[in-house]
Structure 1
Amino acid sequence: MNHWTDSLESDGEEEDSLVRPYTITRGRTAPQRDDLTLITVVTTVEPEEGRPAGRRLEPEHRAIVEQCREPAAVAEIAAELDLPVSVTKILIGDLVALGRVTTRPPLADGGSGGLNVETLQAVRDGLQRL
């Protein structure tokens, strides 16, 4: 996947890099949800049969829905989209409000009572890609 800024003309001004996130969040700069963390797990919810999928989704929203067919952490999603985490949280909040994804904290490891090691490794890998 290409970086979202690849299509912007570069004239050396740093402000250009802020145009796309501002546009895809429709001017919002902070997520409405305060329960989304880097390790929050996001999973796609398939629309019920006969029920419309909701309003037309932006390309970034569709990418999140596609990626989260398998549960993914917020950090992983941001890394895959090559978007700032704050922007990713706003987009995930949109999808939760539309009923297209669900969120949950990472599962605890049944034996030790700690966090699932696989999830933590996936988050680490996602952060390294940022």
Structure 2
Amino acid sequence: MTPRWAEQERAATEEDGADSMVRPYTITRGRTAPERDDLTLITVLTTVRPAEGEPQPSRRALQPEHRVILARCEHPAAVAELAADLDLPVSVTKILLGDLIAQGLLTARAPLAVAGASGGVDLGLLAAVRDGLRRL
């Protein structure tokens, strides 16, 4: 049975939202802004695979959120998708992504352009998207 004081403290914490701010602060080790300013919501990230014969870098020292990001980025994912998957604010996610990029465990790139080689819009692609949406 939970002591009455513990129930009251839990209720007070839930009411003022204090608990929701502690976790992001601790997983970023107190950092409030990402070191990189080139990560946007649509930046695509991919886990770096070591070259054949190279040892796999140890992931033991990584936080659980870092490991989730690396597993999720086995297939390319955007910053916004990762933040949603982790259920964390985008700013916190960017800090974690910056850590992994700095360690050489992730690569970041701008999303592929929809425009064709001539710089115009690829009408075939847009038509395929339209048709696919209509089938939904």
Identify whether the pair has TM-score above 0.5, normalized to the shorter chain.
Answer: yes
Q: Which position in structure 2 is the counterpart of 1:14?
A: 17
Q: Give 1:50's aligned amino acid.
A: P
Q: Which position in structure 2 is the counterpart of 1:103?
A: 108
Q: Percent same amino acid at aligned positions?
A: 63
Between the two proteins, the alignment pairs up a number of residues equal to 109
1:84 aligns with 2:89: yes
Evaluate the alpha carbon distance shift between residue 47 and residue 34 of structure 1 in structure 2; reply closer, same or farther with a 3 A threshold: same
Structure 2 residue ranges without an equivalent (≥5): 1-9, 127-136
Give the superposition deviation at 1:110: 5.3
Distance (whole Å) between structure 1 residues aligned to residue 33 and residue 55 of structure 2 = 34
Preserved contact between residue 47 and residue 53 of structure 1 (Cα < 8 Å): no
Preserved contact between residue 37 and residue 74 of structure 1 (Cα < 8 Å): yes
Preserved contact between residue 39 and residue 106 of structure 1 (Cα < 8 Å): yes
Secondary structure of the structure 1 residue equivalent to 2:33: coil
Distance (whole Å) between structure 2 residues aligned to residue 72 and residue 10 of structure 1 = 37
Q: Which of structures 1 and 2 has the bigger CA Rg? A: 2
Segment of structure 1 superposing worse, 100-109 or 53-62 = 53-62
Structure 1 residue ranges without an equivalent (≥5): 1-8, 118-130
Give the superposition deviation at 1:15: 1.8
Q: What pairs up with 1:22-101 in 2 under 5 angstroms?
A: 22-48=25-51, 49-50=54-55, 52-53=57-58, 56-101=61-106
